[in-house]
Amino acid sequence: MNRFFFFCIGASLAFMACSSDDGNEPGMPPVERPLTVVVNETPFTNEYGDAQAPRRMDTRGSAVTTEGLTEFKMSYNNNIYRFSKGGTTWSSTDLNSWPNVDNDTPVSFYAYNAGTYYYNSGENYLSFEAMENARTQTDLLVAKQEGITYNETKGQVSLTFDHACAAVDFTISITPKLAEKLGGGNLTVNKVVLKQVAKQGDYYFSEGWKNVNTTTNYTLTSAESMAVGTGEQTLPCGTLFLIPQTLGSGAQFAITYTLAGETKTTQINLDGESWQAGYQYIMHIGLGTANIQVSK
């Protein structure tokens, strides 16, 4: 039986902002015009549009929700301010008043929870790296409010956070035919590596990702071997948050396994597979008799 490998594309994730009470009336001195920030979310949905509970937060890769988000940074006029959450309220010790401009002067804000912020030639962007260790990866969230005035908002900045990375999960299984050749047993998988995937890029608030480069390898299994059967198993790496990209000719799964006391490696090419920002992908690794030869 030929090996099988397929993708499920989930729904995009976004956080929606809601309204709140008005701030002070227009015309007051700038130092007396309080600035408030509102952050909310929509439920996480799957590819069928069904609502799902948010992922639990743990030591491995998990999607960030407002329950898990405790702080973010926001840039105004190329200055960066840190916001933190106290209960259900977001506040900043260094940006708590509306900027010192007229009530009808447009201003713009750019918010993010990770990466390094830059302003260059009128462009606002983040330099971001998807770390090789899933335990240290970050679900990159971005938001912006451009050209708003105090008269329009009464001092309230409503942020809609979007997921800038692609969330990628992995499962592995063997076909029933291969299990039969193994005498109804399991195959011992020692290691699974996702190879030649770009890990760095620049996220532009105006138009998305640019300068995606610097390929690396992501190890998807822990140090322990896995006994893989016909039922799908989730790989222990958890969710990876990766730079959106179309994979090149060198991209592949490299799977090391033990069969009849001998350790071998097989590869599955991923050339042309594409990941988009804000989408969740489940990548199913299927091992069959065509790509693993079993001696009788």
Are 201 and 140 a contacting pair, CB within 8 Å? no
Are 166 and 281 a contacting pair, CB within 8 Å? yes
122-173 per-position pLDDT tens digit: 899 999 999 998 888 888 999 999 999 999 999 999 998 988 998 888 999 9
Burial of residue 256 (number of CB atoms within 10 Å: 0-12, 13-18, 19+): middle
As a whole number of angstroms, the distance between CA 26 and CA 243 comes to 42
CATH 2.60.40.2630 residue window(s) in the chain: 165-287
DSSP state of 108: E
Q: How do 71-76 and 187-204 pair as beta strands? A: unpaired
As a whole number of angstroms, the distance between CA 76 and CA 208 comes to 19
Handedness of CA 129, 159, 280, 212 (dihedral sign): negative
165-287 CATH fold: Immunoglobulin-like (2.60.40)
As a whole number of angstroms, the distance between CA 220 and CA 133 comes to 9
Tell me what the mean pLDDT of segment 97-111 comes to. 95
As a whole number of angstroms, the distance between CA 277 and CA 165 comes to 5
The residue count of the chain comes to 296
245-287 per-position pLDDT tens digit: 999 999 999 999 998 888 999 999 999 999 988 888 889 999 9
Total-model pTM: 0.81
